Amino acid sequence: MSEKIIANGRVTVGGKVVTDPARDVSEVDDVRVDGSPVGVEATEVWAVNKPAGVVSTAKEPGERPAVVELVDSGARLYPVGRLDADSTGLLLLTNDGALANRLTHPRYGVAKTYLARLGKPPTDRDLSRLRDGVDLEDGRTGPAQVDRVGRQEIEIVLREGRNRQVRRMVEAIGNRVVSLRRIRFGSLALGRLAKGGARRLDEKEIARLWKDAEP
């Protein structure tokens, strides 16, 4: 929609018509649509405890609910990374593209912590293989921190963000994930946030996330 508005010559920057949707603007530029000034949307970051069955998208064309529907905000929020529909736990939503890029870019290796219940008890060798890295169809995984926290439960910390990575790693050692919950993203813990609940992060929490993603 915004690209069509720009292409129709309805947008001006500094009094000049702009037809290039990739044109950079700053907070001090006078941006107008049909002559009316456009304000800069304040940035927001939210933590959500995603239930199973909810998809990690801004919009869902099917019948399943989208995670943005759990947040009471008028901002145009997008998920920071993904959790597959069957997984639960901590997911961040924001309209700050720069922060989202930092938190998900492989260069910065922001840690994400998961609790996984497996189909059968893993052996010590299984855990060692997960720690050292396993071969997947898209390449070998990097080193991971893996701890046994129950007979069939492990805690795993990844600094990569591949699609369904924990599930595929566990399958590579001949096991399967029965349930998967993300409990921490960088310095931010899920804590006691209720399932399906959401809360807006304060400035200190956001500053810590930026620090998590320092080069």
**Catalytic sites, residue numbers:** 84
Q: How far is CA 26 from the centre of its chain?
A: 26
Note the maximum CA span of the chain.
68
Pairing of strands 177-185, 88-94: parallel
Helix or strand (DSSP H, E) at 12? strand 11-13
Residue whose C-alpha is closest to residue 132's, from 121, 120, 141, 123: 141
End-to-end CA distance of the chain: 35
Q: What is the token pair recorded at 60?
A: 């869902």
CA distances from 45 to 4, 19, 78, 116, 144 (A): 28, 31, 10, 26, 27
The DSSP secondary-structure symbol of 15 reads T
Return d(Cα 129, Cα 127) in angstroms, integer.
Answer: 5
